[in-house]
């Protein structure tokens, strides 16, 4: 089982903020949506571009390249040109620390 990686102290990642980290070989974006933390791979499944430059609208991130939308909570692709979900990662808050774990190999 993979190790938990500390992203930030919970108070450092305010509501509606995000932070990009590297987890093993993957770029991961960690979001604070109204006090709940979510992590998705920083990849648009349409063309492999990064999602981090995109705007957040509610619980969706809009790819800055071609406008595909992804659900931050589930990774689901919500609009064309993306049809495949982006990977999600488990997130927890432990002793005031927001942590992410790479469960791809578990």
Instruction: Provide DSSP, the chain.
Output: -PPEEEEEEGGGS-TT-EEEEEETTEEEEEEEETTEEEEEES--TTTS--STTSPEETTEEE-TTT--EEETTT--B-STT--SPPPEE-EEEETTEEEEE--TT-
Tell me which of 74 and 26 has the higher pLDDT.
74
* pTM of the full structure: 0.93
The domain locations on the chain are 14-89
1 pLDDT band (50/70/90 cuts)?
A: low
Tokens of 37: 């933390």
Mean pLDDT of 78-105: 95
Q: For residue 81, is the peptide bond before it cis, meaning its omega torsion is within 30 degrees of 0?
A: yes
| Superfamily of structural domain 14-89 | Rieske [2Fe-2S] iron-sulphur domain (2.102.10.10)
Please report which helix (H) or strand (E) contains residue 27, including its range.
Answer: strand 26-33
Percent of the chain with pLDDT over 90: 89
Say how far apart CA 70 and CA 95 lie, in whole Å: 30
Q: Are 48 and 100 in contact (CB under 8 A)?
A: no
Mean pLDDT of 63-72: 96
């Amino acid at each position: 089982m993979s190790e938990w990686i500390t992203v930030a102290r919970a108070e450092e990642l305010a509501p509606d903020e995000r932070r990009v980290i590297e987890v093993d070989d993957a770029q991961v974006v960690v979001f604070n949506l109204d006090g709940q933390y979510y992590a998705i791979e920083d990849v648009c499944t349409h063309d492999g571009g990064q999602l981090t430059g995109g705007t957040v609208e509610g619980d969706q991130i809009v790819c800055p390249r071609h406008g595909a939308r992804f659900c931050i909570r589930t990774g689901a692709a919500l609009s064309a040109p993306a049809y495949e979900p982006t990977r999600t990662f488990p997130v927890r808050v432990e002793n005031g620390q927001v942590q992410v774990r790479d469960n791809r190999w578990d």
